[in-house]
């Protein structure tokens, strides 16, 4: 277990947090094995990306045509799943308001390891159109680790497919280490998250 | 429309009457007359559809303006009833008894402008914001750019071209130089 | 005075009789991003509270610190399936306040653009309605056919989703050569899709038995709840902005407003199908009656420093979901003083859905929600 459980970043247990229902353990780093089995794992993970069907912003309207016969992401082994427990790819489709960010963090933490994040649209990179808005975040990578960004407002489905290809390449090269990064820099991510989510009423790591 | 304006003028002392289009008029009434005025328009003149209810912040006049936009289905006309309220401790009478849909508007205005509507159900529930501790964001004295830069880690590298300066330099180079005081120094040399 | 709708009844959650569940925002059935807080007794909904704000970007605040022309790229982002209505309304409000007349041909092209956007949004809405009752096939068909329309948009405007084609003073470009023929092919495809939907959805016994009589809106609710668009027309109120307050060139087109009588989910869905046919008909009329040549844009001098005289106005247009309105106040400077966006489903999603859900079952709530055409980005903006 990483040593982040200090005074500033202590686990909050609200009244309704029944310790039998909530796991309060902190995320663990899983070291990579440098052998052929790890390579096989990487290859297998790259070819079964199951994305979480959570349209967090307006980019989700271009995710819908991806499932139809014209773009058909099933042929790449990518399928939408309705629950975070079954998925390992989170597409943050567009701007993230503070209220949504709280749900994104919960969903992200509930996803299985190894997990990957694609930031879709300019809004996730630097705020995009809403760079001066009081309710949307500017940089997604300060709150959760991001593997691939797809630029554009809004990106075409082809751009998203190219983003998937890029992600696959990264995973095969062994660079899809978002979950480990999150565990390693857990205190930093939590501090950033708590800076903008003022009424934090959930456990710190709600797996 | 003319007769309606006359009736409103005599009954509710409507001022600032402005006909924007031939079937669309803006009127301003006192705060105390507002509920009676919209009730009269709804019950006796057939303006049964509340199209929108919104607020404006006139920070120079130290006032909030509330706009009640009403529509009449039968003769296809609109009346926009406006009223000014004080900017300090702003409260307004709730009209959720007249329109069930008005409670949503009032909840939104309560959150984004801080105008209170006592008696409106769920008016204190958060609408769009969660855990907001600043002043209501739609007020003019709230600076959204400053707040965003302080809170949300702006990515370095964004620069803005000031349109005025850029166009002045391109279109009127001499005047721009004069304005910036460069030409003076050049001439002196 | 007695309130129209009294929902102050308290439910004792600790009695074990009721269960409270949350659906959304991470829920595939929810349109857009909102969450429903349901209080259930068995399968019956006792109390529903809708929560919006997941997509709040503060558009109205952002517009106050952008110049008029800089507002154009952001207004279309308010409504994702149908952005053109926003562009048109912002342009129309600014043009009305500054007294700019747009060329005749630009009006026709704007109307064409708006009708295409309506058609795309309505077709996708039909698919969503089918999907909420478990007919996922139609959802796939509808999205795929909307893609053909997006191709036409790309050809006309250069963008698939956000077009920014309508600009102050007219539209940006001329229609490309041979566009009419290619659009006609898409329209024929969509007509065929609608006849297929007839077979699979409107004659489907499961869909009929589930949606008939579900969430009936009586006619006397229309005014208190501020209902508009197809939702109001399904209950028998003949109100269509294109007919009642003709804007652009809608007074020169020949069409009738269709109304339903039942006011239930089936009637609303059926009416949406009629809207698709009407849009196809209007696009054909526009292409036939449009003046074949002429300017498409009025020149506005010094657009970066465009100052609009002090004034205020409210403009409205019929979007796929109902009356869209923009209330704009200017004070003579380069920046708008206030822009208020009134989305068509503003009151539908909040007060009306909460009222309609009472007494219905948990399984039907998404069918009701989609049939009201709720769309969160225009509610919280």
Amino acid C3: pLDDT: 53
pLDDT of residue C354: 84
Distance linking the first and last C-alpha atoms of chain A = 15
pLDDT for the residue B178: 65
Q: Is there a single domain that holds both residue B188 and residue B121?
A: no
Whether residues B90 and B164 share a domain: the answer is: no
Whether pLDDT at B183 is above 50: no
Residue A109 lies in a domain: yes
In angstroms, the CA C222 to CA C233 distance is 10
Is there a single domain that holds both residue B82 and residue B171? Answer: no
State which residue of chain A sits closest to B135, comparing Cα positions. A134
Of C380 and A10, the structure prediction assigns the larger pLDDT to C380
- Return mean pLDDT, chain B: 80
pLDDT tops 80 at residue B173: no
Interface check for C25 against chain A (CB to CB < 8 A): the answer is yes
Map out the domains of chain C with their CATH numbers. Answer: 71-380 (1.10.645.10)
* pLDDT value at residue B189: 45
Q: What's the pLDDT score for residue C7?
A: 64
Do strands A50-52 and B63-72 pair parallel, antiparallel, or not at all (unpaired)? unpaired
Into how many domains does chain B fold?
Answer: 2
Mutate to test the interface with C, among A50, A55, A138 (most CBs of C within 10 A): A55
Q: Report d(CA C35, CA C20) in Å as an integer.
A: 13
Query: A-chain residues within 8 Å CB-CB of C56?
Result: 97, 99, 135
Instruction: Give the confidence band of A5 by pLDDT, cuts at 50, 70, 90.
Output: very low
* B159 pLDDT more than 80: no
**HEC secondary structure over B87-132:** CCCCECCCCCCCCCCHHHHHHHHHHHHCCECCCCCCCCCCCCCCCC
* Residue segments in chain C with a per-residue pLDDT below the cut of 70: 1-8, 28-31
Question: How large a percentage of chain A has pLDDT more than 90?
Answer: 3
List all chains that touch chain A, counting a touch as 3 or more CB pairs closer than 8 Å: B, C
Q: Is pLDDT above 70 for A21?
A: no
CB count within 10 Å of CB C330 equals: 23
Contact assessment for residue C260 and residue C236, using Cβ atoms and an 8 Å cutoff: yes
Measured distance CA(B29)–CA(C289) in Å, rounded: 46
Whether B22 and B65 share a structural domain: yes
Lowest mean pLDDT: which of A90-94, B24-28, B180-184?
B180-184
pLDDT in tens, B24-65: 888 888 888 888 888 888 888 888 888 888 888 888 888 888
Same domain assignment for residues B93 and B176: no
Cβ–Cβ < 8 Å for C375, C343: yes
Q: Are residues B145 and B165 in the same domain?
A: no
The answer as to whether A14 is a domain residue is no
Tally of structural domains, chain A: 1
Pick from B50, B121, B144: which is nearest to C8 by CB? B121
Chains that touch C (3 or more CB pairs under 8 A): A, B
- C80 and chain A in contact, CB less than 8 A: yes
C140, A67: Cβ pair inside 8 Å? yes
The answer to whether C34 touches B104, Cβ cutoff 8 Å, is: no
Please report the pLDDT score of residue C192 as a whole number: 92
Question: Which residues 6+ apart lie within 8 Å of A191 measured at CB?
Answer: A8, A9
Helix ranges, chain C (H): 59-64, 68-75, 84-98, 104-132, 136-157, 179-197, 205-211, 222-225, 230-234, 241-244, 265-289, 346-347, 353-357, 365-371, 376-380
pLDDT on residue A3: 42
Q: Name every chain A residue with its beta carbon within 8 A of the beta carbon of C55.
A: 57-58, 95, 97, 100
Based on the fold, state whether residues B106 and B165 are members of the same structural domain.
no
Q: Say if residue B46 is in the same domain as residue B116.
A: yes
Beta carbons of C140 and A71 less than 8 angstroms apart: no
The pLDDT assigned to C188 comes to 92
Query: Average pLDDT in the A27-54 region?
Result: 86
**Domain extent for A130:** 50-196
> In terms of domains, do B144 and B175 share one?
no
Q: Does B84 touch chain C (CB under 8 A)?
A: no
Q: Which of B152, B153, B157, B160 to mutate to test the interface with A (most CBs of A within 10 A)?
A: B152
Cβ contact, residue pair B155, A98, below 8 Å? no
Does residue A76 lie within any of the structural domains? yes
- C140-168 pLDDT, tens digit each: 898 889 889 899 888 888 888 888 888 88
pLDDT digits (tens, 9 = 90+) for A52-88: 878 788 778 888 888 888 888 888 888 888 888 888 8
Nearest CA in chain A to B158: A126
CATH number where B85 lies? 3.30.460.80
pLDDT for A22 equals: 64
Minimal CA separation from C329 to chain A, in Å = 21
Q: Does B50 touch chain C (CB under 8 A)?
A: yes
CATH of the domain at A178: 3.40.50.12280
Q: Based on the domain organization, do B181 and B107 belong to the same domain?
A: no
Domain hosting B179: range is 160-189
Task: Looking at the structure, tell me whether residues B104 and B154 fall in a common domain.
Answer: yes
Tokens of C329: 């106040």
Q: Is residue A203 part of a domain?
A: no
Report the residue of chain C nearest A106, measured CA to CA.
Answer: C26
Task: Please tell me which residue of chain C has the smallest CA distance to A135.
Answer: C57
Structure tokens at C158: 């250069």
**A-to-C residue pairs, Cβ atoms closer than 8 angstroms:** 81
Find the mean pLDDT for residues A121-138.
Answer: 85
Nearest to C313 among B20, B142, B163 (CB): B20
Whether residues B132 and B165 fall in one domain = no
Q: Per mean pLDDT, which range of A80-94, B81-95, B167-181, C198-212 is the poorest?
A: B167-181
SS (H, E, C) C19-66: EEEEECCCCCCCCCCCEEEEEEECCEEEEEEEECCCCCCCHHHHHHCC
């Amino acid at each position: 277990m990483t040593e982040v459980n200090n005074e500033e970043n202590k686990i909050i247990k609200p009244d309704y947090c029944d310790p039998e229902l909530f796991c309060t353990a902190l995320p663990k780093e899983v070291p990579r094995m440098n052998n052929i089995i790890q390579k096989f794992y990487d290859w297998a993970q790259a070819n079964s990306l199951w994305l979480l069907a959570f349209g967090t912003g307006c980019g989700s309207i271009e995710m819908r045509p991806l499932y139809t016969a014209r773009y058909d992401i099933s042929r790449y082994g990518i399928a939408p799943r309705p629950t975070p427990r079954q998925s390992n790819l989170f597409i943050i489709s567009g701007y993230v308001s503070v209220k949504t960010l709280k749900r994104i963090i919960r969903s992200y933490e509930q996803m299985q390891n190894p997990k990957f994040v694609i930031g879709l649209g300019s809004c996730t990179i630097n705020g995009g159109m809403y760079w001066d808005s009081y309710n949307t975040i500017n940089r997604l990578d300060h709150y959760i680790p991001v593997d691939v960004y797809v630029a554009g407002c809004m990106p075409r489905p082809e751009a998203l497919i190219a983003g998937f290809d890029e992600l696959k390449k990264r995973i095969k090269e062994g660079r899809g280490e978002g979950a480990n990064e999150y565990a390693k820099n857990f205190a930093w991510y939590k501090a950033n998250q708590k800076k903008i989510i003022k009424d934090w009423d959930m456990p710190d790591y709600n797996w | 429309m003319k007769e309606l304006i006359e009736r409103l003028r005599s009954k509710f002392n409507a001022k600032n009457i402005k006909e924007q289009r031939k079937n669309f008029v803006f009127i301003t009434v006192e705060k105390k007359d507002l509920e009676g005025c919209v009730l009269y328009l709804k019950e006796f003149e057939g303006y049964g559809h509340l199209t929108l209810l919104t607020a404006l912040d006139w920070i120079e006049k130290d006032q909030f303006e509330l706009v009640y936009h009403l529509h009449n289905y039968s003769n296809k006309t609109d009346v926009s009833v406006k009223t000014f309220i004080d900017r300090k401790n702003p409260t307004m009478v709730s009209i959720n008894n007249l329109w069930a849909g008005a409670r949503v508007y009032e909840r939104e205005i309560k959150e984004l402008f801080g105008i209170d509507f006592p008696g409106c159900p769920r008016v204190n529930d958060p609408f769009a914001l969660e855990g907001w501790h600043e002043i209501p964001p739609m007020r003019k004295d709230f600076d959204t750019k400053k707040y965003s830069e302080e809170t949300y880690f702006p990515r370095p590298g964004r620069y803005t071209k000031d349109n005025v300066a850029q166009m002045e330099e391109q279109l009127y180079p001499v005047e721009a130089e004069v304005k910036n005081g460069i030409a003076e120094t050049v001439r002196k040399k | 005075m007695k309130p129209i709708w009294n929902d102050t009844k308290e439910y004792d959650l600790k009695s074990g009789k009721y269960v409270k569940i949350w659906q959304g925002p991470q829920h595939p059935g929810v349109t857009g991003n909102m969450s429903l807080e349901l209080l259930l007794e068995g399968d019956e909904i006792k109390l529903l509270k809708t929560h919006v704000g997941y997509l709040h970007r503060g558009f109205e605040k952002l517009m106050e610190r952008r110049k008029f022309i800089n507002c154009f790229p952001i207004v279309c982002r308010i409504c994702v399936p149908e952005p053109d209505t926003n562009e048109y309304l912002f342009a129309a409000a600014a043009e009305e306040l500054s007294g700019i007349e747009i060329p005749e041909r630009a009006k026709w092209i704007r109307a064409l653009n708006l009708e295409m956007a309506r058609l795309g949004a309505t077709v996708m809405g039909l698919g969503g309605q089918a999907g909420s009752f478990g007919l996922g096939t139609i959802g796939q068909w509808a999205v795929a056919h909307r893609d053909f329309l997006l191709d036409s948009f790309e050809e006309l405007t250069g963008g698939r989703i956000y077009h920014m084609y309508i600009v102050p003073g007219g539209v940006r470009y001329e229609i490309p050569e041979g566009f009419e023929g290619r659009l006609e092919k898409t329209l024929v495809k969509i007509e065929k899709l609608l006849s297929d939907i007839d077979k699979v959805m409107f004659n489907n016994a499961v869909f009929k038995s589930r949606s008939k009589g579900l969430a009936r809106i009586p006619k006397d609710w229309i005014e208190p709840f501020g209902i508009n668009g197809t939702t109001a027309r399904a209950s028998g109120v003949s109100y269509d902005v294109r007919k009642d307050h003709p804007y652009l060139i809608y007074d020169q087109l020949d069409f009738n407003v269709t109304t339903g009588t039942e006011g239930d989910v089936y009637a609303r869905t059926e009416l949406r199908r009629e809207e698709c046919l009407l849009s196809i008909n209007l696009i054909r009329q526009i292409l036939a009656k449009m003046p074949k040549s002429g300017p498409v844009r009025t020149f506005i001098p010094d657009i970066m420093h465009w100052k609009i005289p002090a004034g205020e106005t409210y403009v409205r247009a019929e979007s796929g979901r109902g009356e869209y309105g923009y209330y704009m106040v200017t004070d003579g400077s380069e920046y708008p003083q206030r822009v208020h966006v009134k989305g068509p489903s503003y009151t539908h999603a909040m007060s009306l859905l909460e009222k309609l859900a009472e007494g219905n079952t948990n399984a039907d709530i998404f069918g009701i929600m989609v049939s009201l055409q709720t769309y969160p980005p225009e509610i919280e903006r």
